[in-house]
Amino acid sequence: IAGITQAPTSQILAAGRRMTLRCTQDMRHNAMYWYRQDLGLGLRLIHYSNTAGTTGKGEVPDGYSVSRANTDDFPLTLASAVPSQTSVYFCASSDSASGSPDTQYFGPGTRLTVL
Amino acid sequence: QKEVEQDPGPLSVPEGAIVSLNCTYSNSAFQYFMWYRQYSRKGPELLMYTYSSGNKEDGRFTAQVDKSSKYISLFIRDSQPSDSATYLCAMGVNNFNKFYFGSGTKLNVKP
Protein backbone atom coordinates (compact mmCIF):
# COMPACT_ATOMS: atom_id res chain seq x y z
CA ILE A 1 0.00 0.00 0.00
CA ALA A 2 1.58 3.27 -1.12
CA GLY A 3 -0.88 5.78 0.35
CA ILE A 4 -0.12 9.03 -1.41
CA THR A 5 2.64 9.43 -3.93
CA GLN A 6 3.93 12.69 -5.35
CA ALA A 7 6.18 13.34 -8.32
CA PRO A 8 8.69 14.71 -8.85
CA THR A 9 10.47 14.64 -5.49
CA SER A 10 12.23 17.87 -6.34
CA GLN A 11 12.51 20.18 -9.32
CA ILE A 12 14.40 23.29 -10.36
CA LEU A 13 12.42 25.31 -12.84
CA ALA A 14 13.12 28.44 -14.87
CA ALA A 15 10.70 31.30 -14.35
CA GLY A 16 7.98 31.40 -16.98
CA ARG A 17 7.95 27.64 -17.52
CA ARG A 18 4.88 25.48 -17.09
CA MET A 19 5.03 22.72 -14.50
CA THR A 20 2.64 20.02 -13.31
CA LEU A 21 3.07 18.37 -9.93
CA ARG A 22 1.52 14.94 -9.77
CA CYS A 23 -0.37 13.38 -6.87
CA THR A 24 -1.91 9.93 -6.71
CA GLN A 25 -3.64 8.18 -3.82
CA ASP A 26 -4.72 4.57 -3.56
CA MET A 27 -7.02 4.83 -0.53
CA ARG A 28 -10.13 5.75 -2.55
CA HIS A 29 -10.48 8.92 -0.51
CA ASN A 30 -13.07 11.31 -1.89
CA ALA A 31 -11.31 14.55 -0.88
CA MET A 32 -7.87 15.75 -1.98
CA TYR A 33 -5.87 18.88 -1.25
CA TRP A 34 -2.79 20.80 -2.29
CA TYR A 35 -0.81 22.79 0.28
CA ARG A 36 2.36 24.78 0.09
CA GLN A 37 4.72 25.02 3.05
CA ASP A 38 6.98 28.02 3.51
CA LEU A 39 9.29 28.81 6.41
CA GLY A 40 7.49 30.83 9.05
CA LEU A 41 4.13 30.58 7.28
CA GLY A 42 3.20 26.97 7.87
CA LEU A 43 0.96 25.05 5.51
CA ARG A 44 -1.42 27.03 3.31
CA LEU A 45 -4.18 25.49 1.25
CA ILE A 46 -3.92 26.15 -2.49
CA HIS A 47 -6.81 24.15 -3.97
CA TYR A 48 -9.01 21.30 -2.89
CA SER A 49 -11.43 18.79 -4.35
CA ASN A 50 -14.31 17.27 -2.41
CA THR A 51 -14.97 14.61 -5.03
CA ALA A 52 -14.00 13.67 -8.55
CA GLY A 53 -15.15 16.32 -11.01
CA THR A 54 -15.22 19.20 -8.51
CA THR A 55 -12.53 21.59 -7.30
CA GLY A 56 -12.38 24.66 -5.11
CA LYS A 57 -10.02 27.49 -4.23
CA GLY A 58 -8.12 27.57 -0.98
CA GLU A 59 -6.26 30.35 0.75
CA VAL A 60 -3.58 30.98 -1.92
CA PRO A 61 -4.91 29.82 -5.34
CA ASP A 62 -3.45 32.50 -7.63
CA GLY A 63 -1.03 31.15 -10.22
CA TYR A 64 -2.16 27.54 -9.72
CA SER A 65 -4.78 25.33 -11.30
CA VAL A 66 -6.00 21.81 -10.56
CA SER A 67 -8.17 19.14 -12.10
CA ARG A 68 -9.84 16.03 -10.68
CA ALA A 69 -10.72 13.72 -13.54
CA ASN A 70 -10.90 10.65 -11.29
CA THR A 71 -10.77 9.67 -7.63
CA ASP A 72 -7.08 8.81 -7.49
CA ASP A 73 -5.30 11.70 -9.23
CA PHE A 74 -5.11 15.39 -8.40
CA PRO A 75 -2.45 17.23 -10.44
CA LEU A 76 -1.40 20.80 -9.66
CA THR A 77 -0.30 23.01 -12.55
CA LEU A 78 1.76 26.17 -12.48
CA ALA A 79 0.99 27.80 -15.83
CA SER A 80 3.90 30.24 -15.74
CA ALA A 81 6.14 29.75 -12.74
CA VAL A 82 7.45 32.70 -10.72
CA PRO A 83 10.16 32.75 -8.03
CA SER A 84 7.57 33.34 -5.27
CA GLN A 85 6.24 29.86 -6.03
CA THR A 86 9.46 28.36 -4.68
CA SER A 87 8.17 26.15 -1.87
CA VAL A 88 7.54 22.63 -0.69
CA TYR A 89 4.23 21.32 -2.02
CA PHE A 90 2.22 18.69 -0.18
CA CYS A 91 -0.70 16.76 -1.50
CA ALA A 92 -3.16 15.29 1.00
CA SER A 93 -6.29 13.21 0.91
CA SER A 94 -9.06 12.41 3.34
CA ASP A 95 -12.28 10.50 3.68
CA SER A 96 -14.28 13.61 4.43
CA ALA A 97 -17.54 11.65 4.49
CA SER A 98 -16.36 10.04 7.71
CA GLY A 99 -16.93 13.27 9.60
CA SER A 100 -13.54 13.01 11.26
CA PRO A 101 -10.21 14.63 10.38
CA ASP A 102 -8.21 11.58 11.40
CA THR A 103 -8.42 10.17 7.90
CA GLN A 104 -6.28 12.91 6.38
CA TYR A 105 -2.95 11.73 5.04
CA PHE A 106 -0.15 13.76 3.48
CA GLY A 107 2.20 12.80 0.70
CA PRO A 108 6.00 13.11 0.98
CA GLY A 109 6.13 16.50 -0.74
CA THR A 110 7.69 18.07 -3.83
CA ARG A 111 10.46 20.63 -3.37
CA LEU A 112 10.16 23.20 -6.13
CA THR A 113 12.68 25.94 -6.83
CA VAL A 114 11.85 28.59 -9.42
CA LEU A 115 14.80 30.62 -10.63
CA GLN B 1 -3.47 39.00 12.12
CA LYS B 2 -2.85 35.35 11.32
CA GLU B 3 -5.63 32.89 12.12
CA VAL B 4 -3.27 30.66 14.09
CA GLU B 5 -0.12 31.67 15.96
CA GLN B 6 2.56 29.21 17.00
CA ASP B 7 6.01 29.84 18.46
CA PRO B 8 8.55 28.49 15.94
CA GLY B 9 11.12 27.55 18.58
CA PRO B 10 13.40 25.75 18.38
CA LEU B 11 12.69 24.08 21.69
CA SER B 12 15.48 21.94 23.10
CA VAL B 13 14.86 19.61 26.05
CA PRO B 14 16.68 16.67 27.69
CA GLU B 15 15.35 13.15 27.24
CA GLY B 16 12.61 12.36 29.75
CA ALA B 17 11.41 15.96 30.08
CA ILE B 18 7.79 17.03 29.80
CA VAL B 19 7.26 19.14 26.70
CA SER B 20 4.54 21.74 26.29
CA LEU B 21 3.67 23.02 22.82
CA ASN B 22 1.07 25.72 22.33
CA CYS B 23 -0.97 27.60 19.75
CA THR B 24 -3.33 30.53 19.96
CA TYR B 25 -6.04 31.38 17.50
CA SER B 26 -8.44 34.17 16.73
CA ASN B 27 -11.49 32.51 15.15
CA SER B 28 -14.00 31.50 17.81
CA ALA B 29 -15.84 29.31 15.26
CA PHE B 30 -13.06 26.71 15.19
CA GLN B 31 -14.32 23.34 16.41
CA TYR B 32 -11.65 20.85 15.27
CA PHE B 33 -8.17 21.10 16.72
CA MET B 34 -5.35 18.94 15.41
CA TRP B 35 -1.69 18.31 16.13
CA TYR B 36 0.62 17.02 13.42
CA ARG B 37 4.19 15.79 13.65
CA GLN B 38 6.54 16.41 10.75
CA TYR B 39 9.97 14.85 10.49
CA SER B 40 12.59 16.56 8.36
CA ARG B 41 11.85 16.28 4.63
CA LYS B 42 8.65 14.31 5.27
CA GLY B 43 4.97 15.07 5.08
CA PRO B 44 2.99 15.90 8.25
CA GLU B 45 1.30 13.03 10.05
CA LEU B 46 -1.69 13.46 12.31
CA LEU B 47 -0.90 12.84 15.99
CA MET B 48 -4.15 13.75 17.69
CA TYR B 49 -7.29 15.70 17.20
CA THR B 50 -9.98 16.99 19.54
CA TYR B 51 -13.43 18.25 18.82
CA SER B 52 -14.56 21.34 20.74
CA SER B 53 -13.11 21.80 24.23
CA GLY B 54 -11.48 19.45 26.66
CA ASN B 55 -8.59 17.07 26.95
CA LYS B 56 -7.59 13.99 25.03
CA GLU B 57 -4.87 11.55 26.00
CA ASP B 58 -3.07 9.00 23.85
CA GLY B 59 -0.10 7.30 25.43
CA ARG B 60 2.55 9.92 26.22
CA PHE B 61 0.61 12.64 24.41
CA THR B 62 -2.14 14.86 25.82
CA ALA B 63 -3.99 17.51 23.84
CA GLN B 64 -5.86 20.29 25.59
CA VAL B 65 -8.25 22.86 24.19
CA ASP B 66 -9.34 25.99 26.03
CA LYS B 67 -11.87 27.68 23.78
CA SER B 68 -12.53 30.51 26.24
CA SER B 69 -8.88 31.55 25.94
CA LYS B 70 -8.53 30.45 22.28
CA TYR B 71 -5.51 28.40 23.30
CA ILE B 72 -4.53 24.81 22.61
CA SER B 73 -1.67 22.74 23.98
CA LEU B 74 0.09 19.47 23.31
CA PHE B 75 1.97 17.85 26.19
CA ILE B 76 4.55 15.13 25.64
CA ARG B 77 5.53 13.11 28.71
CA ASP B 78 8.81 11.24 29.03
CA SER B 79 10.07 12.79 25.82
CA GLN B 80 12.32 10.66 23.62
CA PRO B 81 14.93 11.56 20.99
CA SER B 82 12.55 10.05 18.44
CA ASP B 83 10.08 12.84 19.31
CA SER B 84 12.48 15.35 17.72
CA ALA B 85 10.46 16.86 14.89
CA THR B 86 8.41 19.90 13.99
CA TYR B 87 4.95 19.97 15.54
CA LEU B 88 2.17 21.74 13.70
CA CYS B 89 -1.16 22.72 15.14
CA ALA B 90 -4.15 23.04 12.85
CA MET B 91 -7.77 23.92 13.31
CA GLY B 92 -10.97 24.25 11.39
CA VAL B 93 -14.67 24.87 11.70
CA ASN B 94 -16.48 21.79 10.40
CA ASN B 95 -15.19 21.86 6.85
CA PHE B 96 -12.06 19.87 6.09
CA ASN B 97 -11.25 22.23 3.25
CA LYS B 98 -10.61 25.10 5.62
CA PHE B 99 -7.91 23.86 7.96
CA TYR B 100 -5.63 26.62 9.20
CA PHE B 101 -2.13 25.60 10.22
CA GLY B 102 0.32 27.13 12.62
CA SER B 103 3.85 27.67 11.36
CA GLY B 104 5.18 24.79 13.48
CA THR B 105 7.44 24.43 16.53
CA LYS B 106 10.72 22.60 16.06
CA LEU B 107 11.45 20.28 18.99
CA ASN B 108 14.83 18.72 19.74
CA VAL B 109 15.03 16.06 22.47
CA LYS B 110 18.63 15.51 23.50
CA PRO B 111 19.69 12.03 24.65
Look at A15-24, B26-35, B73-82 and tell me which has the smallest mean pLDDT. Answer: B26-35
Nearest to B5 by CA among B29, B30, B26, B36: B26
**Contact status, residue A91 vs residue A6, Cβ threshold 8 Å:** yes
> Stretch A103-110: mean pLDDT, rounded?
90
The tens digit of pLDDT for each residue in A47-57 reads 999 899 999 99
* Cβ-Cβ contacts under 8 Å, B49 against chain A: 100-102
Contact with chain A for residue B34, Cβ under 8 A:
yes
CATH 2.60.40.1080 for the B4-110 domain, yes or no? no
* Cβ-Cβ contacts under 8 Å, A36 against chain B: none
What domain range is A90 assigned to? 4-114
Q: What is the DSSP letter of A102?
A: G
Q: Cβ-count burial of A80 within 10 angstroms (0-12 exposed, 13-18 middle, 19+ buried)? A: exposed
> Stretch A104-110: mean pLDDT, rounded?
92
Q: Which helix (H) or strand (E) holds B81?
A: none
* Cβ-Cβ contacts under 8 Å, A4 against chain B: 43
Contact with chain B for residue A108, Cβ under 8 A:
yes
Contact with chain B for residue A9, Cβ under 8 A:
no
Q: Which of A4, A42, A106 sits opposite B103 (nearest CB)?
A: A42
Q: How many structural domains are present in chain A?
A: 1
CATH number at residue A96: 2.60.40.10
Q: In chain B, what are the domain boundaries?
A: 4-110
> Stretch A18-27: mean pLDDT, rounded?
96
> How many whole angstroms separate alpha carbon A13 and alpha carbon A56?
26
- Put simply, the answer to whether A42 touches B101 (Cβ < 8 Å) is yes
Long-range contacts of A48-54 (CB under 8 A, 24+ apart): A48/B97, A49/A74, A50/A96, A50/B97
Kindly state the percentage of chain A with pLDDT values over 70: 92
Q: Which of A90, A104, A108 sits opposite B46 (nearest CB)?
A: A104
The tens digit of pLDDT for each residue in A93-103 reads 988 666 666 67
Q: Cβ-count burial of B1 within 10 angstroms (0-12 exposed, 13-18 middle, 19+ buried)? A: exposed
The tens digit of pLDDT for each residue in B18-66 reads 999 999 999 999 988 999 999 999 999 999 988 888 899 999 999 999 9
